[in-house]
Structure 1
Amino acid sequence: MKGLIWMIRGILFDLDGTLLNRSVSLHQFIKAQYERNYAMLTNVKPQHYFDDFITYDQNGYNHKKNVYQSLVEKYELDHHVGELLLEDYYFHFHEHCLPIEGFDHLIHYLKQSQLQLGLITNGETEFQRNTINALALADVFHCILISEEEGIKKPSPEIFQRGLYMLGVTANKTIFVGDHPTNDIKAAKKSGMCTIWVYNSHYEKPSEADFTVHSLVEIPDIITSLNKEDTDENK
């Protein structure tokens, strides 16, 4: 990284899988949804419902409307059951939102720092706002960009440039933190940012990642190290 970064001024974060522990949150939601709607799912075994939901969900890249349609077709349920389950998802998912390991430590550090902080996430505006509120993040960031609201989504370079502009920082003074190899790490690196990959067992490690963390606790030390390296080089 020598010669590429000059004193970190800003950090941009992804949301799902980076700050939100989407996997654990979704697992808890699915189990609760089955119990809550057992009267409509009496002929479906709970483990089958869980396993099939995870399969159809495709790690979040299949819209829930399609997930529930697939479940309805497989279990030969009435069409309206799928609509009710989808409504249940939008209404109850955020009761189960849990953060990634090290979240509290990182947020405390960020609040005490002078860094410009931003969030860039793909997804539906209201749903992602509810996730942000569930994690008490609304007041942490100086800018929040949600793909539906912005009309563009990752990995489009434009949404990254928009985030940098809103924070008033340049790419070479900014870190992007994310878990998706293409939408987050490769795209952010292409935009000129330093990248931190939050380990996700669903993906192979992206070659574009400058750093890899297994816990958000590690991020403050990376920033400190980069800024110390810069200070030492400019003495």
Structure 2
Amino acid sequence: MKEVQALLFDLDNTLMDRDHTFRSFCTQFVQDILGHLEPDSAQKVVEDMIVRDADGYRDKDGFFEELSQVLPWQNPVPASDIRAYYDESYSAHGAIMKHAETVLDYCKERGYILGLVTNGKKDIQHAKIDLLGLRHYFQVIVISAEEGISKPDPEIYRLALERLGADPGKTLFIGDHPVNDIWGAGKAGMEGIWLRRNHMWDETLDIRPWKTISGLDELKNIL
């Protein structure tokens, strides 16, 4: 068994159930902004928004501009208004991933140093963390918009490691995205634990996960 001193976690679709969160947001958005639609039509719009969002890996401004053009408006809504609605309301829909709190408690009780590395806007990511009640678990929280560096740039992981005072060879990164979490962390010298969610593994990558899990509860047996 390798020696592990520290654990770095991704946020979206690792500790936060983004699938549930985004669906909840879309449902509320359609109710509030497209209330003229019949239930079946409203549900189709929700499903269409989820597909267009591409699991959050779309450029947000482009996504909102597209919505402003294609949704079945009664009165057209500009992309800037959709962005404002999103910024104001999205975080409130945050849902914690199954087993996340149990696993984080387990890790803290055993003395692991914990950190969080996430891509996203400062205010939105901080709001998610606080809504889910996760802040107290982490010695370090690194958000891309605050640092001017985004995953999978190895520098964002190195920054987190430096602030943790952790050795990359004794640190694991846990996340759901093959490139942004496993490959990027690997380039910074860490082993990765891939949480299998919505992304297929890219067989062309020159770094592979140390372990693969289907649920966070499996971390207990690994650690």
Shared fold per TM-score greater than 0.5: yes
Aligned residue among 41, 65, 68 for 2:64:
68
Deviation at 1:176, TM superposition (A): 0.5
- Establish whether residue 200 from structure 1 lines up as the match of residue 197 from structure 2: yes
- Establish whether residue 132 from structure 1 lines up as the match of residue 133 from structure 2: no
| Aligned CA distance change for structure 1 residues 186 and 145 (closer, same or farther; 3 Å) | same
> Whole-Å Cα distance in 1 between the matches of residues 101 and 138 of structure 2?
15
- Establish whether residue 88 from structure 1 lines up as the match of residue 85 from structure 2: yes
Quick one: which amino acid aligns to residue 144 of structure 2? Answer: S
After TM superposition, the structure 1 stretch with the greater mean CA deviation from structure 2, 46-55 or 113-122, is 46-55
Aligned residue among 10, 35, 49 for 1:14:
10
> Whole-Å Cα distance in 2 between the matches of residues 157 and 104 of structure 1?
27
Q: Name the residue aligned to 1:53.
A: 49
> Whole-Å Cα distance in 1 between the matches of residues 119 and 152 of structure 2?
9
> Whole-Å Cα distance in 2 between the matches of residues 153 and 85 of structure 1?
24
Matched residue pairs, number?
218
8 Å contact from structure 1 (residues 100, 215) kept in 2: no
8 Å contact from structure 2 (residues 9, 174) kept in 1: yes
Alignment of 1:161-176 (within 5 A): 161-176=158-173
Runs of at least 5 residues in structure 1 that lack an aligned partner in the other structure: 224-235
Q: Name the residue aligned to 1:143.
A: 140
Q: Name the residue aligned to 1:102.
A: 99
Deviation at 1:156, TM superposition (A): 0.9
Q: Name the residue aligned to 1:153.
A: 150
Deviation at 1:162, TM superposition (A): 0.9
Quick one: which amino acid aligns to residue 157 of structure 1? Answer: P
After TM superposition, the structure 1 stretch with the greater mean CA deviation from structure 2, 22-31 or 41-50, is 41-50
TM-score by length of 1: 0.85
8 Å contact from structure 1 (residues 177, 198) kept in 2: yes
**Deviation digits for residues 89-128 of structure 1 (CA, Å, limit 9, x no counterpart):** 2222222211222112112213323111111111111111
8 Å contact from structure 2 (residues 116, 140) kept in 1: yes
User: Highest relative contact order (Cα 8 Å, sep 6+), 1 or 2?
Assistant: 1
8 Å contact from structure 2 (residues 177, 199) kept in 1: no
> Whole-Å Cα distance in 1 between the matches of residues 211 and 44 of structure 2?
38
Quick one: which amino acid aligns to residue 209 of structure 2? Answer: A
8 Å contact from structure 2 (residues 8, 117) kept in 1: yes
Aligned identity (percent) is 31
8 Å contact from structure 1 (residues 53, 67) kept in 2: no
Q: Name the residue aligned to 1:229.
A: none
Q: Name the residue aligned to 1:24.
A: 20
Deviation at 1:13, TM superposition (A): 0.7
The RMSD of aligned alpha carbons is 2.1
